[in-house]
Amino acid sequence: MPHKTLYILLALLLFSCNKKETLKISVKNVVTGEPVAGNYISIVEIFNVSDGVSGSKTKDFYSGQTNSEGVLFITEKFNKNRRYTVKVGKFTEDVCYINKSNEQWYVGANTEINFEYAPCANLKFRYQNISCIDENDRIEVYRYTNLPKYAGFLINAVYEGCADYTMPNFVEVPMGWWFFEWTVTKNGVTENFTDSFYLSNGQQKKYEFQY
């Protein structure tokens, strides 16, 4: 009888530590909204080792692929005392933006996890002072996108005097809308300008600032 009681208590303890949850994982192109079918999603379970030395260990917990709508539903029993890392798989094209490559999850957290990415386009600039007055002429350009937490070009482009500079190479940037704000100072007068354009997946574009 004592052994039977012990087994019952252990079973109850194990049951109380686990909870069935359904996770909804989605993967899409953040610019176009197009879902990514067949993306390989994996989950790793993280647990502490009680020997006081080893710390945390991990083991593979789940793997599967997104459906035609770019979604994977995962229904499993998760341990309330453990953490899980949900990882998005590799993409079939070059990626220049992703909101996150993985997310830490635990029982009680939001059961919807969204991975959003943007493929690459190619961009280069020319800065040409076509009506130079003197060495005090100046242009400063701020270049950015509307992608969440993407800073764009971290440093503003600044050129002084009779500049005519073309970037030697194209640089990879996320596809989508790009925005530009720039100021031109000549003969002590400053003017402000703005422009924007859309870059498609894989597109190459040379943009010229003539001032």
* pLDDT tops 80 at residue 99: yes
Please give the pLDDT value at position 10: 47
| CA–CA gap between residue 211 and residue 208 (Å, rounded) | 9
Do 191 and 176 touch, CB atoms closer than 8 A? no
CB 139 within 8 A of CB 183: yes
Is the domain spanning 16-119 CATH 1.10.287.3510? The answer is no
Structural domain spans, the chain: 16-119, 121-210
For position 3, what pLDDT does the model report? 52
Instruction: Give the confidence band of 21 by pLDDT, cuts at 50, 70, 90.
Output: very high
pLDDT over 70, % of the chain: 89
7 vs 126: which has the higher pLDDT: 126
Q: What is the mean pLDDT of the chain?
A: 91
User: Is the per-residue pLDDT at 88 higher than 90?
Assistant: yes
DSSP character at residue 100: -
Altogether, the residues listed in the chain come to a count of: 211
Residue of 85, 126, 83, 129 lying closest to 108 (CA atoms): 83
- Report the range of poorest mean pLDDT among 8-17, 51-60, 172-181, 183-192: 8-17
Distance CA 27, CA 153 (A): 26
**23-41 confidence digits (pLDDT tens):** 999 999 999 999 999 999 9
Structure confidence at residue 179 (pLDDT): 96
Per-residue confidence (pLDDT) for residue 129, from 0 to 100? 98
List the structure tokens of 25: 């994982």
The answer for residues whose C-beta is within 8 angstroms of residue 136's C-beta and 6 or more apart is 160, 161, 185, 186, 187, 188
Q: Write out the two tokens for 67.
A: 């459906």
**Element spanning 121, H or E:** strand 112-128
Give residue-wise pLDDT tens across range 100-152.
999 999 999 999 999 999 999 999 999 999 999 999 999 999 999 999 888 77
What number does CATH give the domain 121-210?
Answer: 2.60.40
pLDDT tens by residue, 133-142: 999 999 999 9
Tens of pLDDT along 175-211? Answer: 999 999 999 999 999 999 999 999 999 999 999 999 9
Task: Evaluate if residue 51 carries a pLDDT over 80.
Answer: no
* Per-residue confidence band for 9, with pLDDT thresholds at 50, 70 and 90: very low
